[in-house]
Amino acid sequence: MKNLTLISVAAAALLMSGCGEEAKKAANHATEAAVQTTKEVAHTATEKTKEVASEAAQTVADKAAEATEAVKEKATEAVDAAKETAGEVVEAAKEKATAAVEETAQKAVETAKEVAAPATEAKETAVETAAQAQEAAAAVEAAPAEAEAAAKEATEVTEAEAEKAVEEKTQEAAAAVDTAAGEALFVKCKGCHGANGTTKALGKSEVIAGQSAAELEAKLHEYKAGTRNVTGMGAMMKGQVAGMDDAQIKAVSAYISTLK
């Protein structure tokens, strides 16, 4: 606008100075050119202004959007933090409440036990006393029967021991007789089995010393019956025991069992 004013003033000065027709035309042309240039400059400036304003508006919008998102994030974080804090507070409150309830319940139980303890002890004492009384009564009732049973048992034990002692003495006496008779019968066995029964007859038989009386008696009966023939000694042993009766076989078996 300032350039247009200057050009217009210059054109007016030329016209007023009384220049020729050509000068007027030139002045008009210059004025039109200046007006046109001013319009173009103004249009360009207007477009630039619009463009800058649009960019500025877009920038402001972008910044506003970013600020809004940041505010939303901060708000979300704040809400989450508040929720977390609230949850912790609630849990802490629950724990404290639970602990308080448990403590109160425990105290109540302990108090109840303390209150009930004397009654329980009294009941137990009464039960124990009643049981003792019943046991005493039963003992009194059973005393005569127990005394009679004890006397009977003592008598039976005494009789049994006496019978056992007699039997043992009888067996010892019989064994002594059998052993003596067996020693006499063993004389004819010494030639093959040795004086102590430790010699293998003809180098083939088993050693007879140390065997039990029952085992030896059973073997001699088998030899006598001809059903035993160990290491080919069956015929010889059958001849040795053929003249012995059961008592003699028993006696010689008892004597051999004492040899070592």
d(CA 61, CA 50): 16
Q: Does pLDDT of 186 surpass 50?
A: yes
If one compares 235 and 41, the residue with the highest pLDDT of the two is 235
- Across residues 130-135, what is the average pLDDT? 72
CB-CB contact of 229 with 239 (8 Å)? no
Distances, alpha carbon 74 to alpha carbons 58, 66, 134, 197, in Å: 24, 12, 85, 116
**Which pLDDT band, with edges at 50, 70 and 90, does 209 fall under?**
very high
In this predicted structure, what is the pLDDT of residue 206? 92
In this predicted structure, what is the pLDDT of residue 170? 43
- Across residues 144-160, what is the average pLDDT? 67
In this predicted structure, what is the pLDDT of residue 150? 60
CB-CB contact of 18 with 28 (8 Å)? no
Q: How many CA atoms lie within 13 A of 214 on its CB side?
A: 0
From 11-25, 48-62, 97-111, the region with the lowest mean pLDDT: 11-25
User: How many percent of the chain have pLDDT more than 70?
Assistant: 69
Q: Does pLDDT of 229 surpass 80?
A: yes
Per-residue pLDDT tens digits for 50-73: 888 788 779 878 887 897 798 689
Q: Does pLDDT of 42 surpass 90?
A: no
Q: Does pLDDT of 96 surpass 90?
A: no
- Across residues 36-63, what is the average pLDDT? 84
If one compares 14 and 94, the residue with the highest pLDDT of the two is 94
From 21-30, 103-112, 215-224, the region with the lowest mean pLDDT: 103-112
Phi-psi region of 210 (alpha: psi -120 to 50; beta: other; left: phi over 0): left
- Across residues 24-51, what is the average pLDDT? 83
From 45-54, 114-123, 130-139, 199-208, the region with the lowest mean pLDDT: 114-123
The pLDDT mean for the chain works out to 78
- Across residues 34-47, what is the average pLDDT? 84
Residue carrying structure tokens 């105290």: 107
